[in-house]
């Protein structure tokens, strides 16, 4: 699901067109944050105060959470799913965050840094003890997830969040008329409990929305969570190449309405536009893609599999790429 970030520019373009009609200042925000939760984020706007192509006025860090949610993952599943003999994906952003990215937009250097945080990263979560970091969204939504990421990453400031259900990705990819990626090996897997059928061949492939979801949801290989991140990054790069196609403009008003059940963000219209402007002008050589340093504790059947953070290397990485400690 690292697909998410490629959607930044697309979401920004959609909102820009949608300004022609009435939308709230934050048209894609589903959750209401309490004052205490809102204080976790920097609430000062980072977009220039202009109606024409707002720009990013300072470095900003955006936490991106992606999830695939099943009826059993939520307290009140849709009534139409209760008597099915399988578990379909549902429209929700309240589940485990299978993808966690911290994305830095840095206007002074004209660079973007994307840090992938493995979902199995071991943390001590507030009021819940030792957990995988992907559980933070279930226990406390975007605010608790941001709080845990901040602790993990040496106190880094988090300005905004985006939560995105995987169902939105298929819609975005189909709107882009598909994406082209190189699949490094055959991927085949069947899970009847979810009606999940994955069958992708090795080589360069042009994928539609459903096939892209297959690529993102495949998780059965020796590389574990790191293999998932590598596939997410394949999709991410392909989305970034496709997201600003001029032909999208006529489809934007309808698509923004379609995406609303699957997106939750406290980004404003102006901030989304500023991010899109920044991404459109960015040279791809100035995009740095990183993975949280650490190691696995193994995949023993009797123990829980964790990604164990290397805090010393994390500290060095945050100083180098996120300007911490300066």
- Say which CATH number the domain at 56 has: 3.30.420.590
Query: What are the tens digits of pLDDT across the range 163-214?
Result: 999 888 888 888 778 889 998 888 888 877 777 788 889 999 999 988 988 8
* Average pLDDT score over residue span 104-133: 94
Q: Mark residue 203 as left, alpha or beta (left: phi above 0; alpha: psi -120 to 50; beta: remaining).
A: left
* DSSP label at residue 47: B
193 in any annotated domain: no
Query: What are the tens digits of pLDDT across the range 69-84?
Result: 888 888 888 888 888 8
Burial 239-250 (b: 16+ CB within 10 A, else e): bbebbeeeebee
Helices (H), the chain: 6-18, 35-38, 136-152, 166-175, 209-217, 224-242, 252-259, 269-280, 311-321
Give the burial class of 305: count Cβ atoms within 10 A of its Cβ; 0-12 exposed, 13-18 middle, 19 or more buried: middle
What local confidence, expressed as pLDDT, does residue 3 receive?
Answer: 41
Domain extent, residue 109, equals 8-177+246-321
- In whole angstroms, what is the distance from residue 151 CA to residue 304 CA? 22
138 in any annotated domain: yes
213 in any annotated domain: no
Query: What are the tens digits of pLDDT across the range 21-54?
Result: 445 578 788 888 999 999 999 989 999 876 567 8
Query: What are the tens digits of pLDDT across the range 235-285?
Result: 877 776 665 555 655 666 666 777 788 999 999 878 887 887 787 778 878
120 in any annotated domain: yes
- In whole angstroms, what is the distance from residue 147 CA to residue 156 CA? 10
pTM: 0.80
* DSSP label at residue 119: T
* Average pLDDT score over residue span 308-316: 97
3 in any annotated domain: no
192 in any annotated domain: no
What local confidence, expressed as pLDDT, does residue 101 receive?
Answer: 93
What local confidence, expressed as pLDDT, does residue 153 receive?
Answer: 97
* Average pLDDT score over residue span 146-170: 94
126 in any annotated domain: yes
217 in any annotated domain: no
Residue 7 has pLDDT above 60, yes or no: no
Residue 119 has pLDDT above 80, yes or no: yes
Residue 64 has pLDDT above 90, yes or no: yes
Count: domains in the chain: 1
């Amino acid at each position: 699901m690292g697909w998410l970030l490629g959607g930044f520019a697309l979401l920004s373009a959609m909102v820009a067109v949608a300004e022609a009609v009435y939308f709230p200042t934050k048209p894609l925000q589903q959750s209401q944050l309490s004052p205490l939760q809102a204080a976790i984020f920097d609430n000062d706007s980072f977009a220039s105060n202009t109606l024409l192509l707002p720009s990013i006025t300072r470095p900003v860090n955006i936490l991106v959470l992606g999830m695939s949610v099943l009826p059993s993952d939520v307290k009140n599943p849709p009534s139409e799913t209760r008597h099915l003999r399988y578990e379909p994906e549902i429209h929700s952003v309240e589940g485990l965050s299978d993808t966690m990215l911290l994305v830095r937009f840095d206007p002074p250097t004209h660079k973007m840094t994307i840090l992938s945080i493995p979902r199995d990263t071991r943390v001590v979560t507030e009021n819940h003890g030792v957990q995988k970091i992907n559980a933070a969204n279930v226990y406390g939504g975007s605010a608790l997830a941001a709080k845990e990421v901040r602790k993990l990453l040496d106190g880094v400031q988090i300005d905004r969040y985006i939560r995105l259900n995987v169902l939105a990705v298929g819609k975005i990819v189909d709107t882009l008329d598909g994406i082209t990626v190189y699949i490094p090996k055959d991927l085949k897997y069947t899970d009847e409990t979810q009606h999940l059928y994955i069958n992708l061949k090795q080589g360069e492939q042009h994928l539609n929305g459903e096939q892209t979801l297959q690529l993102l949801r495949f998780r059965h290989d020796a590389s574990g969570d790191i293999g998932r991140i590598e596939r997410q990054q394949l999709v991410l790069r392909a989305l970034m190449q496709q997201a600003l196609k001029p032909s999208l403009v006529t489809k934007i008003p309808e698509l923004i309405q379609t995406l609303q059940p699957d997106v939750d963000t406290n980004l404003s219209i102006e901030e989304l536009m500023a991010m899109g402007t920044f991404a459109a002008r960015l040279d791809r050589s100035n995009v740095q893609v990183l993975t949280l340093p650490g190691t696995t504790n193994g995949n023993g059947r009797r123990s829980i599999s964790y990604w164990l953070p290397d805090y010393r290397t994390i500290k060095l990485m945050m100083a180098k790429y996120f300007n911490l400690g300066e």
